[in-house]
C-alpha cells in the first residue's frame, strides 16, 4: 500500500527531477537566489564527524542497509559508505524536520560515487525528501559514471502547501518494486560526501509561553500558571514543600495561529519538573531535571513519568532518591545530593522490570512511589494497567491485583524479597503510601473499565467509579488485602472543575507543619487556555486533608481556592525572581550558574518573555511596621526603555516604586528603586512596561531592603567642677513607646540601665578625678524592640571641655 502510494508520488515529481538534472549538468547558469539569512541545514555533511546525525532511511519496513565511514572521501578524511542495501530507497538519511519550510527554495549539493565492478557504466541517483507516511518527493538527480565522484547541484522549492512537520532527506537509486532481481543494477553500494542544503534559516521554535492568567489572583490552585505539571508528588524537606511532576509542558506545542496544541503525547516526556514553596502559595520554579533520553541522568531509560521521592541517610550521608516510570514497562531511580540535585544514576539498568520477583504479571510496571517507615525500612509501591485475562471478568474489574509493594534494600536503589499484591478495588495506577498515627494509608487511582478490565462490569457496592482516588488502611506496609479498603477519598476532578477536566489522576499526601495535604492534578490551566476543549495538559493542585476520629479520611473537595498560605513571604533577602504566586505572560528558562537563594548545587532560572503589560506577583508579603526602603532586581536588559512598577495588592494597585531597567543591553546588572509608603502585609505586583513588541528584559532575582529601624532617644553631655574635680554628666531620654536598655559610655567610666521607661532618663555623672579635661565624646547605646524586631541604636554625643578654677 505504501509502495503504491509512493509510486504515484514519483510520477508527479518527474518534472522537478528533470530540472534538477539540467542544473546538475550545468545547462542552467546563475546562482540560486541567496537570502540574507541563508544557512546550511545539514549537520556533518562532510562526514568528518563520522556518521553523526546520519542514519539509514527506514521509511518502509523493508528498507535497510549498512552505513559506515570510509576514508575514500571526495574531500576531507571521511565519506559515508552504504552497503547491503535491501531496497532502492536504502540510503543515508538526515532528519530536517523543523528546519525546512514550505514555500522556500533551497540549494542542494552533494558528491556521490559507485564503483561496483559488475555495476552498469552509468547510474542515476536521487536526493529525495520523505515527508512522512507515503509521501516522497525526488528533489534532485544526477547521473554518475562508475568510479567517479558525481555532483548533485541544484535548487528545489518545497510547495507552499506541503506539510513539513516530517522532512527527512535521503539519497537513493531509482525506485523499482523488486530490486533483488538485479542487485548489480539497483542495489549497488555507493559513497556520499559534502552534502549541503542551503536556504532560509530554520524557523524559531513556536512560543510555548502561556499568555493567559492561568492562576487567578487570590486563588491558590493550580499551583503555577506559567507551565504545566502532572502526577505531582509532595515532599517536605528543611521547611519547604517540593513538588516533583511529569513535565507535561515538554511536548506542548501551541499552534502560532490558533494557540491550540496537539493533544499530549506522553512519549515526548523525559524530564521531571520541580517547584518548591515555604508557604504553599508562592512557588519557586526550579526547572526540569533531564532524567531520561540520550542526554539524561539515566540514559538507559526513555521516559520519566509520575515521579516519587524520598530521602535516607546512606553511609552517613543524606541522599535523595527520585523514582520514576520509564514509560509503562519499567521503573527506575536516580540519586540527588539535595532535593534540587545534582543528580546521578547509581544504576545501569532499570530498577523495576519483568524480572522483579512477584511483579511478572503486572502489565504496567510503572508509577513507583517510595515510603520510608519510622524504623528506616524503605518500601516501593508500583504497578497498574490491565489485569490478567485468566481472571473472571467481575474479579478482573473489581480486584485486578495489578499493584505491588516491595521492600527496598539499604542502598535505596535495589529491591529485596518478593513483591506483594496490593488488592486495591478497581485499581488502575498511582499507588502511594503515607503513615499517620501508626497506621499505613495506601491511595491509588481507579480504572475506567472497558475490555481491559473484563468488559461491561459494575463495581461492587462502595467500590470506586472511573478515575477516582480510593484508599486502604493497614497495620502492615506489605499487607493490603481487599478488606483494608476504606473508600473514595477524592472523586474524579471533573466533578469540581467541569467540562474538559476529566481523565486520569495521580495523587500524593504529605504532612507539613502539623497539617496533612493532598496533591492531585487537573487540566485547569489547559482549560483556561482553550476552554472546555482541552488537550490533556495537566496542572498541579493541593487541598488540605482532614481525618475523622476513627482515622478515615474526609472526602476531599477540589477547589480553585486551594489551601491557606502557611506564612507570610519574607522580602528582606535575595530571592529568586522565578518565585511567584501569580503571573501573566511570562516564561522561565534555566541559565548557567547557581541559585543566589538556594546555593551552589541548585539550578538557577530567570523570568523571560517579559513584554509590555506582563507581570508577576507575590502573595502576602510582610514588610513589617517600618517597611521597605528600596527594592533591587538583578536584570538583563534586552531593549532600552524598560521599567518595573512595584504595586501593592493588585496589578493596577498604587505604584510605590519604579525601577528603571537602564543597564547596558545584554548584560546582567543590579538596578534599584526607592520605595515610598510600603509597610505591613501586601500582595506585591511587579508590572512590566516598555516598548511594545519586543522582549524587555530578563529577571534573575529580587531583594527588598528594610527601612533602617531606630530607637528614638534624646542625648546630652556636660562637664562641671565639683569639689575641685571635673565631673562629666551624660543623660539619655527614652523617646520610644516601650522600655529600652541604655548604656552610657565615657573615657571616665560606664553605666548601664536595664529598663528605662518611656519618657524616663538614664543619667550618670562620672568623676574624672582631674582638675581639667579636654573636649571629647560620649557614646549612648540603646537596645529595644521595634515591631517585634530587636534593634540597637548607637548615638555619639559631644562632651565639652571642663576645668576647675583658673
Catalytic residues: 231, 429
Of the two residues 226 and 527, which places its CB atom closer to Ca ion in the complex? 226
Residue from 63, 172, 288, 611 in contact with Ca ion (CB under 5 A): 611
Instruction: Say whether residue 214 binds Ca ion (CB under 5 A).
Output: no
Binders of Ca ion among residues 69 to 88 (CB under 5 A) are 73, 76
> What SS3 class is residue 662?
coil
CA 615 – CA 650 distance, rounded (Å): 11
Of the two residues 172 and 576, which places its CB atom closer to Ca ion in the complex? 576
Size of the site for Ca ion (CB under 5 A): 13
Q: Which stretch binds Ca ion (CB under 5 A): 45-53, 223-231, 382-390, 776-784?
A: 45-53
Residue 327 CA, chain-centre distance (Å), reads: 19
C-alpha cell recorded at residue 232: 505531582
Q: Taking CB under 5 A as the rule, which mask of x and - marks residues 645-684 in contact with Ca ion?
A: ----------------------------------------
Of the two residues 46 and 657, which places its CB atom closer to Ca ion in the complex? 46
Are the C-beta atoms of 74 and 194 separated by less than 8 Å?
yes
Residue 79: CB minimum distance to Ca ion, A: 5
Of the two residues 67 and 433, which places its CB atom closer to Ca ion in the complex? 67
CA 212 – CA 435 distance, rounded (Å): 39
Instruction: Say whether residue 616 binds Ca ion (CB under 5 A).
Output: no
Residue from 282, 604, 703, 734 in contact with Ca ion (CB under 5 A): 604
Binders of Ca ion among residues 147 to 166 (CB under 5 A) are none
Cα 327 to Cα 48, 322, 368, 502, 663: the distances in Å are 36, 15, 11, 22, 47
The HSE-up count of residue 520 (CA atoms within 13 Å, CB side) is: 34
Of the two residues 45 and 308, which places its CB atom closer to Ca ion in the complex? 45
Phi, psi of 360 (to 5 degrees): -60, -35
Binders of Ca ion among residues 163 to 202 (CB under 5 A) are 193
Of the two residues 52 and 775, which places its CB atom closer to Ca ion in the complex? 52
Q: Taking CB under 5 A as the rule, which mask of x and - marks residues 686-715 in contact with Ca ion?
A: --------------xx--------------
Residue 718: CB minimum distance to Ca ion, A: 56
Residue 107: CB minimum distance to Ca ion, A: 19
Q: Which stretch binds Ca ion (CB under 5 A): 339-347, 525-533, 599-607, 732-740?
A: 599-607
Are the C-beta atoms of 324 and 331 separated by less than 8 Å?
yes
- Specify the DSSP class assigned to residue 480: B
> What SS3 class is residue 394?
helix
Which of 175, 140, 180, 179 minimizes the C-alpha distance to 8?
175
Which residues, in sequence order, are bridge partners of residue 779? 745, 796
Residue from 172, 609, 698, 745 in contact with Ca ion (CB under 5 A): 609
Of the two residues 76 and 691, which places its CB atom closer to Ca ion in the complex? 76
CA 416 – CA 407 distance, rounded (Å): 5
- Specify the DSSP class assigned to residue 193: E
Count H helices and E strands in the chain, helices first.
6, 51
CA 265 – CA 247 distance, rounded (Å): 11
C-alpha cell recorded at residue 98: 523543523
Residue number of the CB atom closest to Ca ion: 76
Question: Which residues, including other chains, have CB under 8 Å from residue 796's CB and lie 6 or more apart?
Answer: 777, 778, 779, 780
Of the two residues 20 and 45, which places its CB atom closer to Ca ion in the complex? 45
CA 723 – CA 727 distance, rounded (Å): 10
Residue 67: CB minimum distance to Ca ion, A: 14
CA 324 – CA 309 distance, rounded (Å): 9
CA 110 – CA 54 distance, rounded (Å): 14
Q: Taking CB under 5 A as the rule, which mask of x and - marks residues 557-596 in contact with Ca ion?
A: -------------------x--------x-----------
Instruction: Say whether residue 46 binds Ca ion (CB under 5 A).
Output: yes
Residues that bind Ca ion (CB under 5 A): 46-47, 73, 76, 193, 576, 585, 604, 609, 611, 614, 700-701
Amino acid at each position: 500500500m505504501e509502495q503504491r502510494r509512493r509510486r504515484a508520488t514519483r510520477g508527479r515529481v518527474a518534472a522537478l527531477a528533470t530540472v534538477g538534472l539540467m542544473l546538475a549538468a550545468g545547462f542552467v547558469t546563475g546562482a540560486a537566489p541567496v537570502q540574507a539569512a541563508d544557512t546550511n541545514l545539514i549537520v556533518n555533511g562532510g562526514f568528518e564527524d563520522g556518521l553523526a546525525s546520519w542514519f539509514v532511511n527506514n521509511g518502509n519496513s523493508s528498507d535497510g542497509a549498512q552505513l559506515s565511514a570510509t576514508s575514500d572521501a571526495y574531500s576531507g578524511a571521511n565519506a559515508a559508505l552504504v552497503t547491503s542495501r535491501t531496497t532502492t530507497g536504502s540510503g543515508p538519511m538526515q532528519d530536517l524536520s523543523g528546519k525546512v519550510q514550505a514555500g522556500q527554495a533551497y540549494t542542494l549539493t552533494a558528491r556521490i560515487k559507485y564503483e561496483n565492478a559488475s555495476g552498469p557504466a552509468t547510474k542515476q541517483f536521487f536526493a529525495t525528501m520523505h515527508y512522512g507516511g507515503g509521501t516522497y518527493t525526488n528533489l534532485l538527480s544526477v547521473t554518475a559514471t562508475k568510479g567517479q565522484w558525481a555532483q548533485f547541484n541544484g535548487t528545489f522549492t518545497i510547495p507552499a502547501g506541503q506539510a513539513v512537520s516530517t522532512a527527512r532527506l535521503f539519497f537513493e537509486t531509482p525506485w523499482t518494486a523488486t530490486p533483488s532481481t538485479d542487485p548489480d543494477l539497483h542495489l549497488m553500494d555507493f559513497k556520499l560526501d559534502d552534502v549541503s542544503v542551503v536556504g532560509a534559516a530554520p524557523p524559531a521554535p513556536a512560543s510555548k509561553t502561556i499568555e493567559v492568567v492561568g492562576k487567578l489572583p487570590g486563588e491558590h490552585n493550580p499551583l503555577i500558571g506559567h507551565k504545566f505539571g502532572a502526577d505531582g508528588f509532595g515532599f517536605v524537606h528543611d521547611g519547604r514543600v517540593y513538588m516533583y511532576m511529569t513535565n507535561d509542558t515538554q511536548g506542548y506545542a501551541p499552534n502560532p495561529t490558533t494557540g491550540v496544541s496537539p493533544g499530549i503525547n506522553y512519549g515526548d516526556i523525559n524530564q521531571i519538573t520541580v517547584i518548591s514553596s515555604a508557604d504553599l502559595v508562592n512557588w519557586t520554579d526550579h526547572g526540569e531535571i533531564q532524567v531520561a533520553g540520550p542526554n539524561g541522568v539515566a540514559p538507559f531509560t526513555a521516559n520519566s513519568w509520575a515521579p516519587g521521592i524520598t530521602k535516607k541517610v546512606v553511609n552517613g550521608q543524606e541522599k535523595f532518591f527520585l523514582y520514576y516510570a520509564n514509560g509503562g514497562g519499567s521503573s527506575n531511580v536516580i540519586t540527588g545530593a539535595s532535593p534540587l540535585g545534582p543528580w546521578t544514576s547509581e544504576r545501569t539498568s532499570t530498577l523495576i522490570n519483568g524480572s522483579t520477583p512477584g511483579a511478572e504479571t503486572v502489565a504496567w510496571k510503572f508509577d513507583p512511589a517510595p515510603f520510608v517507615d519510622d524504623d528506616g525500612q524503605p518500601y516501593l509501591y508500583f504497578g497498574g494497567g490491565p489485569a490478567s485475562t485468566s481472571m473472571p471478568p467481575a474479579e478482573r474489574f473489581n480486584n485486578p491485583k495489578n499493584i505491588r509493594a516491595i521492600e527496598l534494600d539499604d542502598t535505596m536503589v535495589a529491591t529485596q524479597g518478593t513483591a506483594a499484591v496490593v488488592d486495591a478495588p478497581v485499581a488502575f495506577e498511582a499507588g502511594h503510601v503515607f503513615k499517620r498515627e501508626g497506621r499505613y494509608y495506601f491511595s491509588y487511582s481507579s480504572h475506567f473499565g472497558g475490555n481491559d478490565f473484563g468488559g461491561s462490569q459494575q463495581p461492587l457496592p462502595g467500590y470506586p467509579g472511573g478515575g477516582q482516588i480510593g484508599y486502604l488502611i493497614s497495620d502492615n506496609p506489605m499487607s493490603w488485602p481487599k478488606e483494608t479498603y476504606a473508600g473514595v477519598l477524592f472523586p474524579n476532578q471533573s466533578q469540581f472543575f467541569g467540562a474538559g477536566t476529566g481523565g486520569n489522576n495521580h495523587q500524593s499526601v504529605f504532612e507539613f507543619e502539623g497539617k496533612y495535604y493532598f496533591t492531585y492534578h487537573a487540566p485547569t490551566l489547559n482549560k483556561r487556555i482553550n476552554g472546555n476543549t482541552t488537550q490533556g495538559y495537566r496542572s498541579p493542585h493541593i487541598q488540605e486533608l482532614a481525618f475523622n476520629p476513627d482515622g478515615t479520611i474526609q472526602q476531599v473537595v477540589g477547589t480553585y481556592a486551594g489551601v491557606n498560605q502557611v506564612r507570610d513571604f519574607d522580602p528582606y533577602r535575595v530571592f529568586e525572581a522565578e518565585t511567584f504566586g501569580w503571573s501573566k505572560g511570562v516564561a522561565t528558562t534555566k541559565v548557567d550558574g547557581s541559585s543566589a537563594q538556594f546555593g551552589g548545587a541548585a539550578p538557577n532560572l530567570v523570568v523571560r518573555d517579559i513584554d509590555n503589560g506582563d507581570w508577576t506577583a507575590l502573595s502576602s508579603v510582610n514588610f513589617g511596621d517600618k517597611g521597605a526602603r528600596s527594592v533591587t532586581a538583578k536584570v538583563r536588559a534586552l531593549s532600552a526603555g524598560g521599567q518595573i512598577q512595584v504595586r501593592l495588592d493588585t496589578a493596577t494597585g498604587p505604584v510605590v516604586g519604579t525601577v528603571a531597567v537602564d543597564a547596558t543591553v545584554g548584560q546582567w546588572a543590579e538596578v534599584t528603586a526607592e520605595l515610598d509608603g510600603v509597610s505591613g502585609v501586601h500582595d506585591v505586583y511587579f508590572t512590566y512596561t516598555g516598548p511594545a513588541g519586543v522582549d524587555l528584559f530578563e529577571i534573575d532575582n529580587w531583594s527588598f531592603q528594610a527601612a533602617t529601624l531606630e530607637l528614638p532617644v534624646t542625648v546630652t553631655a556636660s562637664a562641671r567642677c565639683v569639689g575641685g574635680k571635673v565631673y562629666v554628666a551624660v543623660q539619655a531620654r527614652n523617646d520610644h513607646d516601650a522600655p529600652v536598655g541604655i548604656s552610657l559610655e565615657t573615657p571616665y567610666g560606664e553605666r548601664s540601665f536595664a529598663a528605662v521607661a518611656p519618657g524616663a532618663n538614664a543619667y550618670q555623672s562620672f568623676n574624672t578625678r582631674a582638675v581639667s579635661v579636654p573636649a571629647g565624646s560620649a557614646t549612648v547605646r540603646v537596645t529595644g524592640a521595634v515591631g517585634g524586631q530587636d534593634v540597637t541604636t548607637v548615638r555619639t554625643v559631644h562632651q565639652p571641655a571642663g576645668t576647675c578654677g583658673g
